[in-house]
């Protein structure tokens, strides 16, 4: 569904990604793990068009989207729940969610039933249903994370990019977020999950890639990566 081939990207003259290739098949949950600064966020930014790739090729559902603007990529069905949530703080929860559906209206995919999807999100995230009129900036960190995920899902995406959904959350909320990811997986939402919390990501994922210094250094079924001594030592040790 999402294919990234030899992606080169960075900031100005700084090249961060060195020919990164990965594949997210339809209905699968693929995780990209790696240390802080490895280039995980940069990968998602290049995939969603927030930064322009300097090389390589990105295809979504067979169509070349390399170098398209973010709204055009979103319009084709790529949703991005970014690092640090980035909800619209001065707008109510409900408006944040409706904005997530905006490119469905302007894009080239079927518009669908926005109201029904809003109700579906309130079912999936009951905390958001209770707070639908509350300004997003006044939500807790965990609630803002749920809002960022729900807003991305309002696109009815072909692929959902999730950047560190567990970052900065208390353990109980981390569990809640991973339970939601597991539920989306059961509903066969195609996802690329970036996580520093590698153990939990490999627990829920089908397949994984390890990114080190902008390069993919290991990949395989999540169960195989969990058992790989080098991956265990670097990412699943006592510190993680």
Ligand X SMILES: Nc1ncnc2c1ncn2[C@@H]1O[C@H](COP(=O)(O)OP(=O)(O)O)[C@@H](O)[C@H]1O
**Residues forming the site for ligand X (CB under 6 A):** 11, 14, 16, 34, 36-42
Look up residue 98 and give its two tokens.
Answer: 């409706």
81 binds, among Mg ion, ligand X, none (CB under 5 to 8 A by kind): none
Residues of this chain that interact with Mg ion (CB under 5 A) are 40-41, 83
34 binds, among Mg ion, ligand X, none (CB under 5 to 8 A by kind): ligand X
E strand residue ranges, the chain: 2-11, 14-24, 29-33, 55-60, 63-64, 78-81, 159-163, 191-195, 207-212, 215-221
Distance CA 28, CA 101 (A): 23
Q: How far is CA 171 from CA 22, 178, 200, in A?
A: 30, 11, 12
In this structure, what are the phi and psi dihedrals at residue 140, rounded to the nearest 5 degrees? Answer: -70, 170
* CB nearer Mg ion, residue 85 or residue 104: 85
* CB nearer ligand X, residue 58 or residue 128: 58
192 binds, among ligand X, Mg ion, none (CB under 5 to 8 A by kind): none
Q: How far is the CB of 200 from ligand X (least distance, A)?
A: 16
Q: How far is the CB of 164 from Mg ion (least distance, A)?
A: 6
* CB nearer Mg ion, residue 83 or residue 212: 83
Q: How far is the CB of 163 from ligand X (least distance, A)?
A: 7
Q: How far is the CB of 166 from Mg ion (least distance, A)?
A: 12
Residues in contact with 234: Cβ distance below 8 Å, sequence separation at least 6, in sequence order: 35, 210
* CB nearer Mg ion, residue 98 or residue 169: 169
CB 32 within 8 A of CB 211: yes
Q: How far is the CB of 91 from ligand X (least distance, A)?
A: 25
Strand partners for 192: 30, 161
Would you call 115 exposed, middle or buried from its count of C-beta atoms within 10 A (0-12, 13-18, 19+)? exposed
36 binds, among Mg ion, ligand X, none (CB under 5 to 8 A by kind): ligand X
37 binds, among Mg ion, ligand X, none (CB under 5 to 8 A by kind): ligand X
CB 211 within 8 A of CB 38: yes
* CB nearer ligand X, residue 16 or residue 231: 16
78 binds, among Mg ion, ligand X, none (CB under 5 to 8 A by kind): none
Distance CA 9, CA 187 (A): 32
Distance CA 50, CA 79 (A): 12
Q: How far is the CB of 73 from ligand X (least distance, A)?
A: 18
* CB nearer Mg ion, residue 134 or residue 217: 217
């Amino acid at each position: 569904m999402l294919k990234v081939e030899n992606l080169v990207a960075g900031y100005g003259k700084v090249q961060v990604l060195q020919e990164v290739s990965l594949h997210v098949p339809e209905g699968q949950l693929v995780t990209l793990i790696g240390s802080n600064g490895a280039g995980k966020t940069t990968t998602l930014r290049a995939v969603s068009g927030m930064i322009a790739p300097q090389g390589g090729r990105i295809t979504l559902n067979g169509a070349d989207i390399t170098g398209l603007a973010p709204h055009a990529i979103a319009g084709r069905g790529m949703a991005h729940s970014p690092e640090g949530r980035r909800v619209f703080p001065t707008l109510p929860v409900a408006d944040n969610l409706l904005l997530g559906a905006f490119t469905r209206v302007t894009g080239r995919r079927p518009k669908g039933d926005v109201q029904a999807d809003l109700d579906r999100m309130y079912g999936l995230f009951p905390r958001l249903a209770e707070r639908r009129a509350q300004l997003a900036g006044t939500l807790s960190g965990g609630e803002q994370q749920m809002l960022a995920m729900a807003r991305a899902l309002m696109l009815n995406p072909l692929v959902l990019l999730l950047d560190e959904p567990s970052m900065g959350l208390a353990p109980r909320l981390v569990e809640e977020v991973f339970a939601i990811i597991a539920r989306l997986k059961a509903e066969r939402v195609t996802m690329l999950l970036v996580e520093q919390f590698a153990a939990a990501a490999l627990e829920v994922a089908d397949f994984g890639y390890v990114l080190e210094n902008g390069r993919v250094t290991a990949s395989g079924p999540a169960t195989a990566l969990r058992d790989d001594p080098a991956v265990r030592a670097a990412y699943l040790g006592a510190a993680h």
